[in-house]
Amino acid sequence: MSEINPEGVDPKVIDAYIRQGIPHCAATGMRLVRMAAEDTIMALPYNPDLVGDPTTGVLHGGAVTALIDTVCGMAVLAGTRKLQAIATLDLRIDYLKPARAQAELLAAAHCYKITRTIAFVRARAYHEDTPDDLIASCVATFMLGSSDKPAVSLRRKEKPA
């Protein structure tokens, strides 16, 4: 089971949210590695269907973007501590080098500022064995409460005594 933190977040809720609520995560095999207020990490396993250059086997930039956008959104949920509708307002990615062929890609994000309606996030994509040698870096903003559907709490419900 993936490590889920902050304290009291139900891992089953997050797993279901990712697998059932975000279709591209299920289709690409994305998985949550860690969820915490200080950082959220997701992984994208290497998949030949996501290759952008068949001669080198390098992942398509769209797959890298999808991973970064998703981990940023999950970092917003970790920062606000509730499942709520959010929308990407701005996602600026600097692609620093290609992701290695045949290697799982990781992305880590931190929601560093939350206002009443906007969340601000920084993220980075890398390979596990070279976390300081970035594939991409990102800054993003997300709109909070982008739908009129009620927010769902991530806190575990207390069992009656």
**pLDDT tier at 161 (50, 70, 90 boundaries)?**
low
d(CA 45, CA 22): 16
User: Going from the N-terminus, what domains does the chain have, and what CATH number goes with each?
Assistant: 3-146 (3.10.129.10)
What does pTM read for this prediction? 0.84
**pLDDT tier at 44 (50, 70, 90 boundaries)?**
very high
C-alpha distance from residue 104 to each of 48, 59, 67, 96 (Å): 12, 10, 11, 17
**pLDDT tier at 5 (50, 70, 90 boundaries)?**
very low
Place of tokens 């999808």: 66
| Per-residue model confidence as pLDDT tens digits over 46-103 | 999 999 889 999 999 999 999 999 999 999 988 988 778 899 999 999 999 999 999 9
Exposed (0-12), middle (13-18) or buried (19+): which is 114, by Cβ within 10 Å?
Answer: middle
> What's at 148, amino acid-wise?
D
| Per-residue model confidence as pLDDT tens digits over 104-155 | 999 999 999 999 999 999 999 999 999 999 999 999 999 998 776 645 455 5
Highest mean pLDDT among 1-5, 46-50, 156-160: 46-50
Residues with Cβ within 8 Å of residue 46, at least 6 apart in sequence: 59, 101, 102, 103, 104, 105
Q: Identify the pLDDT of residue 2.
A: 37
Cβ proximity of 32 and 48 under 8 Å: no
